[in-house]
Amino acid sequence: MTVYLTRTSASKELLEQVFQTVNAQSCPRYFNFHMHTVFSDGRLQPDTLMEQATAIGLKGLAITDHHSIDGYQAAQNWLEDMKWNNPDANTPHLWSGVEINANVLNIEVHILGYAFDPEEPSIKPYIQRDATTDQEYQAEAVIAAIQDAGGLAVLAHPARYKRSHFDLIPAIAAAGIDGVETFYAYNNPNPWKPSALESKQVQQLASEYGLFNTCGTDTHGLSLLRRL
């Protein structure tokens, strides 16, 4: 366990370094921190997702299925097999990831967890395929669970909820969030590109509250270069 925790800590530190450099050009060709597979509400098999990620030339990614790490674990197995059979292959770095329903300001939001240790007890209630309830459903509890498992917590698509991101980001920052998904394509454009106005507003709020900026396509379809 000590070895695993050391590896998790190093993975988190690497991710923090990456988040400090994320900008409007980072996704979807360099990094992608929001993708779904058939293990939640996506259409991609994990191995197909990893094949696409490698073909695109991604430097790093996270699979963020809803309340499940099965897709991540399958992708990790694919990556290990690839490295074993082709040690010289140029493959991306894969961080653990999950998307969790949570409550803040009496509305439901989605919190992305990254670089956590899946074996830590704190994260277990959130990776059992079902949304949590009661105290475990509160944003503070979700964030603490991710962080206690050695990971980073990020508010997904801040401008997609029933409350304004101008209200949500201060509230979620007070709850202890590490970052926000700043660069996001709200209108599903083709080709994918972050929505300029919302991204600028969220980036300003992130700066004001000392939060990391992240990006992701939120892929649910068959291409990592689009949302649907």
pTM of the entire structure? 0.96
Say whether 152 sits in a helix, a strand or coil. strand
3-state secondary structure 94-142: EECEEEEEEEECCEEEEEEEECCCCCCHHHHHHCCCCCCCHHHHEHHHH
Contact 7, 14 (CB under 8 A): no
For 189-204, write each residue's pLDDT tens digit.
999 999 999 999 999 9
Tokens of 14: 């690497």
Residue whose C-alpha is closest to residue 167's, from 109, 88, 98: 109
In a domain, 95, yes or no: yes
Give alpha helix (H) positions in 123-195: 139-148, 165-174
Q: Is residue 220 part of a domain?
A: no
Beta-ladder partners of 37: 44
Residue 138 domain-assigned? yes
pLDDT at 5 over 60: no
Q: What is the pLDDT of residue 197?
A: 98
**Does residue 227 fall inside a structural domain?**
no
| Number of domains the chain is built from | 1
Question: Is residue 189, in this structure, part of any structural domain at all?
Answer: yes
The domain containing residue 14 runs over which residues? 2-215
Residue 72, in any domain of the structure: yes
In a domain, 96, yes or no: yes
User: How far is the C-alpha of 103 from the C-alpha of 184, rounded, in Å?
Assistant: 21
pLDDT band at 88 (very low <50, low <70, confident <90, very high): confident
pLDDT tens sequence across 100-132: 999 999 999 999 999 999 999 999 999 999 999
- 221 in a domain, yes or no? no
pLDDT category at 40 given cuts 50, 70, 90 is: very high
CATH code where residue 76 lies: 3.20.20.140
Q: Is the pLDDT of residue 3 over 80?
A: no
pLDDT at position 173 is 98
Name the nearest CA neighbour of 115 among 22, 2, 7, 224: 7
Average pLDDT over residues 176-189: 97
